[in-house]
Amino acid sequence: MALLRHTTPEIKERSALTVNPAKTCQPIGAMYAALGVRSCMPHSHGSQGCCAYHRSTLTRHYKEPIVAGTSSFTEGSSVFGGQSNLLQAIENIFTLYEPNVIAVHTTCLSETIGDDLRQISQKAKDDGKVPDGKHIIYCNTPSYVGTHVTGYANMVKGILKGFAKKTGAPNGKVNIIPGFCEPSDMAEIRRLCGMLGVEIVMVPDTDGVVNGPLTGTYEMFPNYGTTPEEVGTMGDAAGSIGLGRWATAEAVNYLDAEFKVPGKILDLPIGLQATDRFVDALRKMAGVAVPTAVDFERGQVVDAISDYIQYLHGKKVALAGDPDQLLPMVEMLLTLGMIPAYVVTGTGGKLFEERMNALLKDVPYPCKFKNGEQADMYLLHQWIKTESVDLLIGNTYMKYIARDEDIPLIRHGFPILDRMGHQYFPTVGYKGALRMIEKITGAIMDRMDRDCPETKFELQM
Amino acid sequence: MSTTPKNLEELKKELLDKMPTKVARKRDKAIVPGAESGETIPVIQANVRTIPGILTQRGCTYAGCKGVVLGPTRDIVNLTHGPIGCGYYSWLTRRNQTDAGEDGDNYIPYCLSTDMTENDIVFGGEKKLRAAIKEAYDNFKPKSISVFATCPVGLIGDDIHAVTRQMQEELGITVFANSCEGYKGVSQSAGHHIANNQIFRHVIGTDDTPVEGKYKINLLGEYNIGGDAFEIERIFEKCGITLLATFSGNSTITQFRQAHHADLNTVMCHRSLNYVAEMMETKFGIPWIKINFIGAEATAKSLRRIAAYFEDPELMARVEQVIAEEMPAVKAAAAEVLPRTTGKTAMLFVGGSRAHHYQDLFREIGMETLAAGYEFAHRDDYEGRHVLSTIKVDADSRNIEELEIEPDPVRYNPRKTPEQIKALEDQGVRFKVYEGLIGEMKKEALIIDDINQYETHKIIELMKPDIFCAGIKEKYIIQKMGVPLKQLHNYDMGGPYAGFVGAVNWYHEIDRLVNTKVWSLIKAPWNDNGPELEAAYVAD
């Protein structure tokens, strides 16, 4: 019997109800971004349930400590304002936990009542609750606007507003805003930049923070993440590259508007072409030549595609996730000769539609996609029930569809609650592309081995 | 790190030393010693507001209401009225296992939300809520729809009760709402109370179709995490006890509707369901007793207590037979692990009930509990229900509704006369009694309410337990310190731990955790060594 047994192929128009969302709310993205700053305590200005949920979800995704403070609103503060809660919290956090930075984000509660974070932060400083050399940064993350990706974008901008400066002495570096991706992806982006010999400042950088070692000593603030000093140099950079429009445009545009640092917004470098665009942009922005070691890695990806495309050609895929991940993923599937038959993302924005239409224009299959409100996994499942697919790509919640419909699932995106790997192995860059091709061919071939008649069972593939 | 045992005052001093004065003063009242061997039970501060920025384990009222109490009922469609997060994070994250039964209704794998956007905050979300209820009905045709408020709902003034009343009329099914905004009360606890009130008001006792069966009972405050309720159901069936309704693991709305036919309510999690137990006694005349199916001995004791209540020799004999059948496997498992677990120490900081219940299981394998506490329990859970009349409801919890219950003019039927109750009490069946956590813990133990990250870190350093029990947020923090953490909310995906089978599972699991090799591998082989030059031999 099916787990999602009440889902039928018959699609009834919905205008108010979301079922099995392909998104979550802003503050978790902000919490994640704040973790990418060194010695930073994320702080949730709202009632404590949000903070508990966001910490739990990030912890389940990474199997790592995720700490954050909360203002713990009561009914009284919800009516009269949360200033005193936040002031107390700031004092308690600096006294007990001694971070270098507190990064405050909001929830639907504090946003609805209209707490003014700029004013409260100033008051905390004026009242001497922020020790010398320590910092409060903040951003507004109303849960009823956008999604977790929006929250990430808002916090990255908040970090820049808090620390980025311009001295007027250009440093020749490239600013990288890596988007909402894994610590392993951030590490791979850093490695790729290193191969090109491009000096970068990347913020946020959660590598080492949410995928750290077990040493017998718990370090609440590991020696990883971007330092405020590094962020402080970003106004002097030669240019900025944002990877993923939804997650990084705010930050890239801020650096341009505030410090005249020219920005380029690219896709997350998932797949061959998106990585090519990233490498080429780096080459031009930093004025460097691409070394042969990078060509070598790239060539391995082309080689792998030519070796295995016969197994992938024409296979249909259903995807759910965040737009910044989905667009390059769709492009990669097309490169592999696969058909991105159905795509949903709860994150809105007209651009998604335009980009998808452009990507799909030559695909000989009536692909369906939807983003924004009611673009949920319930709808995706209904499409699948009408005409099935060969592969699913998405987060752990897709496993219910995978089991019901007997379709292999590749876990990708956020959150992954039931498998390991995403913390440690990238899906971006040429190395990441190889890993994705390995996963996709593995899933398809395992299914062939499982389902084919004995006479067609092959030793070699 | 100190290794000499310290007394409570010394420990407290180390825990509180670094805190701002005002904070230390508040926290001081939340830390007390145990009172196992007849000492006076100390007063503990509990169920008060969380200190901002302290890094609490606590969640919110919505989590207590939707996430805990009402979420696990498989054939009620739960609709979250709010922005997407609340519904999303409570989607399949508590392990309430469910058997969809013959009718097949099971909405547990679905997350339904009105997904409020800016427009709804500005112009109100009632219209959207009404439409969402209709769309939920059109898509799923459920027996009932339950609506849950989130933080902004109360602030913008959406009247969710008016909307659900209207929709109940329009759709002809039970539709009810819960005003469980996250900021209400100080923790999940307020949400339990709100859920109790609404399930009592709208569902319990609304179906008078008689239920067949001998020894009819309800199980209150059991959520079937990791299949606990399945194991308890198995034991009841073996004993010939008829379980009408479990609140709310593996439950259906029909079971709730018919729950008033039971002759006894048994309370597992006192914190979350004692309100329904009390209200059912007042309205229907059903007495309640506290039971505990965590621990093999506790399970046997609870079964005997139920049998004693029914005063039927046949049931008593059957219960003894079941215990006799089940115990050998339990004893064998305990004997197997005891040499490896005896003398080890544990700490438990969990929700509102397990920090107490699980101490029995540890005791059965020779392990002592050094420290324990709850996130959101009240003083009665710590000190025992006899302190109820002395508990002052403070400003933060005053707005949580208390229902005024009267005996039902038709359905009230006292199951026992006052004389029978008295006679049973003389035999040791105690009604409406819960002794609480403190009276069962050693004088040297530390009891801490609403423990925070700082105190957690400190007591581990000071008291060095062999295992720490808490939740997902603590798990990896503590394991980084080289101390295994057993999750007692989601069982680390294990379980069941209730009943006889559960005890056996637990013994093996704790043995694995405290003896697994990984904790000895933390240091690299070269950690204690400086440079060495063995390669020099090769060069010779």
How many structural domains are present in chain A? 3
Residues A249 and A379 in one domain: no
B176 in a domain, yes or no? yes
Would B38 be classed as within a structural domain?
A: yes
Q: Which of B58, B84, B481 sits opposite A23 (nearest CB)?
A: B84
Q: Which two tokens stand for residue A162?
A: 């808090």
Residue A389 is assigned to a structural domain of this protein: yes
Q: Is residue A326 a part of any domain in this protein?
A: yes
> Is 70 exceeded by the pLDDT of residue A371?
yes
Q: Are residues A429 and A400 in the same domain?
A: yes
> Could you tell me if residue A260 is left (phi over 0), alpha (psi between -120 and 50 degrees) or otherwise beta?
left
The answer to whether B366 and B454 are in contact (CB under 8 A) is no
pTM: predicted TM-score of the whole model, two decimal places: 0.98
Q: Are residues B408 and B278 in the same domain?
A: yes
3-state secondary structure of A240: strand
Known catalytic residue at B354: no
CA–CA separation, B393 and A136 (whole Å) = 36
Residue B94 annotated to the active site? yes
> How does pLDDT run across B342-365, given as a tens digit for each residue?
999 999 999 999 999 999 999 999
The C-alpha atoms of residue A38 and residue A28 are separated, in whole angstroms, by 18
- Picking from A117, A137, A163, the residue at the C-terminal end of a domain is A163
What are the beta bridge partners of residue B468? B347, B485
- Per residue in A52-92, pLDDT (tens digit) is 999 999 999 999 999 999 999 999 999 899 999 999 999 99
Residue B540 to residue B535: CA distance in whole angstroms: 9
Tell me, yes or no, whether A88 and A46 share the same domain. yes
One domain for residues A149 and A196:
no
What pairs with residue B447 in β-bridges? Answer: B32, B372
DSSP state of B43: P
CA distance B270 to B218: 14
Q: Grade residue B539 by pLDDT with cuts at 50, 70 and 90.
A: low
Residue A375: inside a domain: yes
Contact at CB, A48 and B90, closer than 8 angstroms: no
**Do residues B304 and B349 share a domain?**
no
Confidence tier at B5 by pLDDT (50, 70, 90): low
Catalytic residue among B94, B202, B385, B489: B94
Q: Which domain holds residue B265?
A: 207-337+388-433
Quote the pLDDT of residue B536: 61
Share of chain B above pLDDT 90, in %: 96
Residues A108, B150: C-beta atoms closer than 8 Å: yes
Residue B60 bears catalytic tag: yes
B57 inside 8 A of chain A by CB: yes
Phi-psi group of A372: left, alpha or beta (phi > 0 → left; psi -120 to 50 → alpha; rest → beta): left
Can you give the residue range of the structural domain that contains A94? 26-163
- Both A145 and A233 in one domain: the answer is no
Find residues 318-377 of chain A whose CB sits inside 8 Å of chain B. 346, 373-374
Looking at the structure, tell me whether residues B131 and B85 fall in a common domain.
yes
CB contact under 8 A, B82 and A108: yes
Same domain membership, residue A322 and residue A193: no
> For residue B297, what is the domain's CATH number?
3.40.50.1980
| CB atoms B155 and A215 under 8 Å | no
* Residues B426 and B405 grouped into a single domain: yes
| pLDDT at B2 > cutoff 50 | no
**Other CB atoms closer than 10 Å to residue A279's CB: what's the count?**
23
The reply to whether B526 falls in a domain is: no
Provide the domain count of chain B: 3
Final residue of a domain: which of A292, A318, A338? A292
Query: Judging by beta carbons within 10 Å of its beta carbon (0-12, 13-18, 19+), is residue A445 exposed, middle or buried?
Result: middle
Question: Across the interface, which of A14, A16, A143 has its CB nearest the CB of B83?
Answer: A143
Predicted confidence at residue A157, as pLDDT, reads: 98
- Indicate whether A342 and A269 sit together in one domain: no
CA distance A219 to chain B (A): 8
pLDDT for B445 equals 96
Residue B444's pLDDT band, with cuts at 50, 70 and 90, is very high
- pLDDT of res. B477: 98
Q: What is the average pLDDT score of chain B?
A: 96
Indicate whether B423 belongs to any domain: yes
- Give the tens place of pLDDT for each residue, B213-249: 999 999 999 999 999 999 999 999 999 999 999 999 9
B369 within some domain: yes
CATH number at residue A327: 3.40.50.1980
For residue A301, tell me if it sits in a domain. Answer: no
Question: Which one of A14, A53, A144 has the shortest CB-CB distance to B152?
Answer: A144
Interface of B with A in 458-477 (CB under 8 A): 471-473, 475-477
Residue A332 and residue A449 in one domain: yes
Separation CA A51–CA A69 (nearest Å)? 7
Active site residue B86: no
Within-domain flag for B198: no
Average pLDDT on B503-521 reads: 96
Residue ending a domain, among A242, A264, A292, is A292
Q: Give the rounded percent of residues in chain A with a pLDDT score beyond 70.
A: 100
The average confidence (pLDDT) of chain A is 98
Q: Does B514 reside within a domain?
A: no
Token pair of B485, please?
């953490």
Q: pLDDT grade, residue B29 (50/70/90)?
A: very high
- The reply to whether B348 and B461 lie within a common domain is yes
At A426-453, the pLDDT tens digits run 999 999 999 999 999 999 999 999 999 9
Output helix, strand, coil percentages for chain B, rounded to the nearest 5.
45, 15, 40
| A 183-212 near B (Cβ less than 8 A) | 212
For range A359-369, the mean pLDDT? 97
Burial of A457 (0-12, 13-18, 19+ CB in 10 A): exposed
User: Are A91 and A56 in a shared domain?
Assistant: yes
**pLDDT category of residue B1 using cuts at 50, 70 and 90:** very low
Contacts B82 to A, Cβ<8 Å = 108, 143
Clarify whether residues A146 and A185 are in a common domain.
Answer: no
Q: Is B167 on the interface with A (CB under 8 A)?
A: no
Q: Which of B109, B242, B533 is nearest to A6 (CA)?
A: B109
Residue B300 within a domain: yes
Count how many Cα atoms sit within 13 Å of the Cα of residue B274 in the half-sphere of its side chain.
21
